[in-house]
Structure 1
Amino acid sequence: MKKLSYTLMLFFILAACSQKEQEPSRSEVPASAGEVPVVIAENLSVPWSMTKKGSTFHISERNGAIVSVDQESGEWTRLPVNLTKNLFTGGEGGFLGLELIPNTDLEALAYHTYDENGKVLNRLVRLKKEEDRWIETSVLLEGIPGARIHNGGRIKIGPDGKVFITTGDASVPELAQDLNSLAGKILRIELDGTIPEDNPISNSPIYSYGHRNPQGMVWDEKGNMYASEHGSSAHDELNQIEPGKNYGWPVIQGDEKRTGMETPLFHTDGVTWAPSGIAHNNGSLYIAALRGEAVYQYVLSSGKPDIFQTGHGRIRDVLIEKDGLFFITNNLDGRGTPAEKDDQLMKVRFD
């Protein structure tokens, strides 16, 4: 694994030390790294995931709403989501991942936390947009172990047309190694919720396991899959995901090795990024970081990370189009330092 440069490592160490007692205020970080972004939408309420059709972004909010933002006009609407099970918003829970379904008239997949008989769980549902709300139309997967923290929650439709879902270990680390549990996994299912015949484990939605709390997925132009993951005591990870592989949690982390387990493509060693959504462009991964309060760029060929954009507080998700990168802040989640008009959707152009 490539090591961080001395200068960058010193920056991260100093930042980590300052965060041990409290999160840094927005005035304690640089005003901006890279080009100054353009604000597309303001006053979002704890956004988690964004997906896009045409010129319109659709952004999930943890309290159970979807905001639709027209990039060209800046106009937006917030509509409630009608679910058949009660939304649980405690801790890190709530209405999380959102992914539009191609070739539909505004239908989407959504991942949310719920409380059933006093037990916190997660589920994947299909939604349809109506005039004044989004409604749940079917359930693809439910009963996924959950907790106040470590729920995973990212949804992506892969290049193969299958649905990929990240799940956290639900604060029970050993579940990540248990192939009878859906916790601490990356799952793969069909759009109708059935299990693909070519999944690595027969009759199981499990695609990879040994994950602590993965929150980002992306594919490059060659079809290679990457995921971001929250580590323990720092050691946040970027992994190249292959079917059926065991990514080690809680048995190994960082540079530790064990037969039959994968070490990460990259990890942050003793500092914390708290990576969430990720995107790929021109040989680099772009990582939304919560605790790191930045969008990081990781060059795959060199293994070199750097700060691409900072100065906007906690970043939850990123999305890339040809002319630039979009990101959403997450400063109203109770762990950040909100600025006026937070949370926001912003765009920064590539050089």
Structure 2
Amino acid sequence: MRLGRTRSGGVLASVALTLAATSACSDGSPAPIPRVTQPTDLPSQPTPSASETPEPTTGSDEGGPPKAVGTLVDLLEVPWGVDFLPDGAAVVTERISGRVLQVAADGTLTRLGGISAAVPEGEAGLLGVAVSPDFDSDRTLFFYLTTGTDNRVVSAPLDGTTLGEPTVVLDGIPRGFIHDGGRIAFGPDGHLYVTTGETGDPALAQDPDSLAGKILRITADGEPAPGNPDAASPVWSLGHRNVQGLAWDDEGRLWASEFGDSDFDELNLIEKGANYGWPQVEGVGGGSEFVDPQLVWPVEEASPSGLAYADGHLWMAGLRGQRLWRIKVSGAGRASQPTAYFTEDYGRLRTVVTTPDGQLWLTTSNRDGRGEPTPADDRIIVVRP
């Protein structure tokens, strides 16, 4: 078994952080969290070089390079999940602190509460967040977190700026010090997609009875969604090492970014019931039993995490690679022309999301024990695609 991608980093305390459900002033209004914005601290944008374009594809810089507009908010502690409320503000999770924050489009930061059951160690903790597609009526947020015994999905009501008590939606997902997955998102079909890692035990990815190393598809109540490959199982696809990003294109196709081991990171087009090969295959396998990735990268150029889609392109954030990849998606569902931007400008990049007004928010992950944080980290950077 190869563990070339298991960088130990700093060992984080394995304790559940007890957080207040809300932070409020004496008059009952939410207490803004102090922040420092630095709209002029961003370096000029690099021109991607040919060496930054991974084989076997070649790319061109269609439409000009993206531009970093400024730092929206800084002094965060490992922001991990980001999703938008109907009013345009975002809900942001912090992996280590367990805090749940609201970030407005102007950078105003408000603490909504926290998830006290989250246990932050290694790559675990409070991870993904998804806003209910029926939020206007049900006021519900969904979270993926690691507890002392498992990974699980919970829901919690949001009453104004007060996060309510979580309710378990799906539990029993294997947990690990590494490879916990954690990205959750509602698809165009209204169902919740959940990425899980194989927790450092590669065999779990091929075990149909394990929820580890999979992409799951469930209802908002945690039941297997109608139309799953097995009506009794939440598993949508299998053979994954550690999927960290999900995005749907204009045609409703699901894409996923995935950590490889020692050789190749992957961008996969996800198909119902398909097997993506781990641990038998890393990268392109060429056989009929497994689905090959559409693109691969040398591990030092990616370690892909967040994934977003905007205007015919996927945007993929790189941790070890410390860059943002733009990838063209054709109408036929082919990914090509990957081009790198912001290489080593902001350190480790965890999450990229498309905002309601068509910009990108890009989060850094330099305080996760594996980066070299600046005094401003971690940050949310606004990018004009």
The match for 2:360 is 325
Q: Deviations over 1:172-223 (max 9, x none)?
A: 0010000000000000001111112310123100000000000000111111
2:327 pairs, out of 298, 322, 335, with 298
The separation in 2 between residues aligned to 1:286 and 1:162, in whole angstroms, is: 23
The match for 2:286 is 257
My pick for the range that moved more, 200-209 or 129-138, is: 129-138
Determine whether 1:220 maps to 2:249: yes
**Distance change >3 Å, CA 256–CA 148, structure 1 → 2:** same
By how many angstroms is 1:9 displaced? 3.7
By how many angstroms is 1:323 displaced? 3.8
The match for 2:188 is 159
Determine whether 1:337 maps to 2:375: no
Give the secondary structure class of the aligned counterpart of 1:286: strand
My pick for the range that moved more, 142-151 or 305-314, is: 305-314
Q: Which runs of 5+ in 1 are unaligned?
A: 1-5, 14-32
CA contact (8 A) 1:199 1:207 kept: yes
CA contact (8 A) 2:127 2:144 kept: yes
Determine whether 1:208 maps to 2:240: no
By how many angstroms is 1:132 displaced? 6.7
CA contact (8 A) 2:68 2:381 kept: no
What is the RMSD of the two structures over their aligned residues, measured on CA atoms? 2.1
Q: Which amino acid aligns with 1:43?
A: L
Determine whether 1:281 maps to 2:310: yes
Determine whether 1:8 maps to 2:41: no
Q: How many residues align?
A: 319
The match for 1:77 is 110
The separation in 2 between residues aligned to 1:180 and 1:136, in whole angstroms, is: 30
Q: Deviations over 1:216-266 (max 9, x none)?
A: 001111111100000001411000000000000000112223332111011
The match for 2:81 is 49
Determine whether 1:237 maps to 2:269: no
The separation in 1 between residues aligned to 2:266 and 2:308, in whole angstroms, is: 15
By how many angstroms is 1:113 displaced? 0.4
CA contact (8 A) 1:235 1:271 kept: no
Give the secondary structure class of the aligned counterpart of 1:136: coil
The match for 1:92 is 123
Greater than 4 Å deviation, 4+ residue runs: 10-13, 130-133
Provide the TM-score with structure 1 as the length reference.
0.86
The separation in 1 between residues aligned to 2:165 and 2:206, in whole angstroms, is: 32
Give the secondary structure class of the aligned counterpart of 1:37: strand
CA contact (8 A) 1:234 1:273 kept: no
2:213 pairs, out of 184, 189, 203, with 184
CA contact (8 A) 1:296 1:307 kept: yes
Q: Deviations over 1:86-133 (max 9, x none)?
A: 3211100000000111232542100000113xxxx2000001224675
What is the identity percentage for the equivalent residue pairs of Structure 1 and Structure 2? 38
CA contact (8 A) 1:81 1:135 kept: no
Q: Deviations over 1:14-55 (max 9, x none)?
A: xxxxxxxxxxxxxxxxxxx74233111111111101111223
By how many angstroms is 1:340 displaced? 1.9
**Distance change >3 Å, CA 37–CA 7, structure 1 → 2:** closer
1:316 pairs, out of 350, 362, 375, with 350
Give the secondary structure class of the aligned counterpart of 1:176: helix
By how many angstroms is 1:339 displaced? 1.1
Q: Deviations over 1:49-108 (max 9, x none)?
A: 111122311100012111111113x2212243244xx32111000000001112325421
CA contact (8 A) 1:285 1:299 kept: yes
Instruction: Judging by fraction of residues, say which structure has more strand.
Output: 1
The separation in 1 between residues aligned to 2:236 and 2:145, in whole angstroms, is: 20
CA contact (8 A) 2:52 2:339 kept: no
Q: Which runs of 5+ in 2 are unaligned?
A: 1-47, 56-64
Give the secondary structure class of the aligned counterpart of 1:298: strand
Q: Which amino acid aligns with 2:118?
A: L
The match for 2:134 is 103
Give the secondary structure class of the aligned counterpart of 1:331: coil
The separation in 2 between residues aligned to 1:236 and 1:104, in whole angstroms, is: 35
